[in-house]
Amino acid sequence: MFQYYVYILKCSDNSYYTGITNNIARRFEEHEFGINKECYTFKGRPLTMEFYQVFNDILQAIDFEKKIKRWTRAKKKALIEGDFDVLQILSECRNATHYNKYNPGNKSV
């Protein structure tokens, strides 16, 4: 049975890179050694592994990676730090139209 890893690297410019692999040690070395000059992380070396999550199902791993890639930097940082209270707050919809749709008694907007 394969294991799949969704990971977040921190680049030297403090940006984050999110990826997926089935061999996290090998993949980190590829990023760190700059195997692919076209890769986002090539100019961002040195890198640090900030977070990874293990999955047994490749489809779940792909879905999680796609979600993280759409997240704000603040949400990624909260995930890395394990601050799930902040992550939940940052995940709440702030759009008044959306909020009113799901809270029809609200007349403040």
Boundaries of every domain in the chain:
1-70, 72-109
Q: Does an H or E element contain 10, and which?
A: strand 4-10
What's the predicted TM-score (pTM) here? Answer: 0.83
pLDDT tens column, 82-92: 999 999 988 88
In angstroms, rounded to a whole number, what is the distance separating the alpha carbons of residues 77 and 45? 19
Q: Domain 1-70 belongs to what architecture?
A: 3-Layer(aba) Sandwich (3.40)
Over range 14-27, report the average pLDDT: 97
Q: Buried (b) or exposed (e) across 76-98, using 16+ Cβ within 10 A? A: bbbbeeeeeeebeebeeeeeeee
Q: Output the six-digit token pair for 46.
A: 């040195």
